[in-house]
Structure 1
C-alpha cells in the first residue's frame, strides 16, 4: 500500500493508466524523483479524468 500522493502512489496511478516509462527519455518511472513523476501524472492522468 502506498500513501496517497507519495512516489509509490504516483507510480501506481501511472501504471494503471498504462504508462510504465518516461515518454521522452524512455527510462523506467522508478528512476525519477517524485516531482518529475508528479508532473507527469498531472499532465497525463489527472487531465484525462477532468
Structure 2
C-alpha cells in the first residue's frame, strides 16, 4: 500500500480501532474525507 492512498488511510484508521463512520464502512468514503478524518482522530 502506498502512503497517502485510500487503502493506506483505511488501514491507519483501522489501526486506531475505527471500522465505520456514521454507520458506513470507511471504504465507501473518498480519499480526501478519510485524510481529514484521520487528522481529526489523531488530534
Shared fold per TM-score greater than 0.5:
yes
Gaps of 5+ in 2: none
Q: Which runs of 5+ in 1 are unaligned?
A: none
**Are 1:8 and 2:12 counterparts?**
no
- Which structure has greater strand proportion? 2
Runs of 4+ in 1 over 3 A off after TM superposition: none
RMSD value, Cα:
0.8
